[in-house]
């Protein structure tokens, strides 16, 4: 059974745009995953310690795998592109966050769906509203286009020419 899933992507180390594009290509070539939609790229200020700006985006996938297997796949792709987890909210070559999985609400020690901080993050909501404006976030009951109105989007800028 195919389920819809929303994934946030981010990078601020290395050739971020090339890394992000390659990560999407890797996802699209993964058995059990179909790439349905891809947002534009956005330049955003980093959250956390001083570091370079991020490039962020989002994709919608159709998946034939349970959420835990999808998370494992995302972590393997992060590792393939040199992701090292040293510092919370530190700089990274690639960040893949599982935001939504149909209308599932899941709370386990290693996976929370919807992503626990997605509703307060403009760098997640701005790309997501572009490709899934009417997706209902199941905890709030609000659509993505409603949620994006409640966050400050001044630090999220469309990358022109990407």
Annotation marks residue 53 as catalytic: no
Annotation marks residue 83 as catalytic: yes
Element (H, E) at 20: helix 16-28
Provide the residue count of the chain: 162
Q: Cα dist. 9→69, 83, 98, 140, 142 in Å?
A: 18, 13, 9, 23, 22
CATH for 33: 3.30.70.560
Q: Is the full-model pTM beyond 0.85?
A: yes
Annotation marks residue 95 as catalytic: yes
Among 62, 92, 102, 119, the active-site one is 92
Angle at 88 between CA 85 and CA 94, to 5 degrees: 50
Among 15, 17, 62, 97, the active-site one is 97
Domain that includes residue 90, residue range: 3-158
Annotation marks residue 17 as catalytic: no
What is the per-residue pLDDT across 70-128, written as a single tens digit (0 to 9) for each? 999 999 999 999 866 665 656 788 999 999 999 999 999 999 999 999 999 999 999 99
Among 95, 102, 134, 152, the active-site one is 95
What is the per-residue pLDDT across 5-58, written as a single tens digit (0 to 9) for each? 999 999 999 999 999 999 999 999 999 999 999 999 999 998 777 889 999 999
Number of domains in the chain: 1
């Amino acid at each position: 059974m195919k389920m819809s899933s929303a994934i946030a992507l981010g990078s601020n180390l290395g050739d971020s745009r090339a890394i992000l594009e390659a990560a999407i290509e890797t996802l699209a070539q993964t058995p059990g995953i179909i790439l349905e939609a891809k947002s534009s790229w956005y330049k955003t200020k980093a959250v956390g310690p001083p570091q370079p700006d991020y490039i962020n985006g989002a994709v919608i996938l159709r998946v034939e795998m349970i959420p835990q297997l999808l998370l494992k796949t995302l972590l393997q792709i992060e590792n393939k592109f040199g992701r090292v987890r040293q510092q919370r909210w530190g700089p990274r070559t690639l960040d893949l966050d599982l935001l939504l999985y149909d209308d599932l609400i899941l709370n386990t020690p290693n996976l929370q769906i919807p992503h626990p901080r997605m509703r307060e993050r403009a760098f997640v909501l701005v790309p997501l509203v572009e490709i899934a404006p009417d997706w209902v976030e199941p905890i709030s009951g609000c659509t993505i286009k409603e949620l994006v109105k409640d966050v400050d989007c001044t630090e999220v800028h469309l990358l022109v020419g990407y």
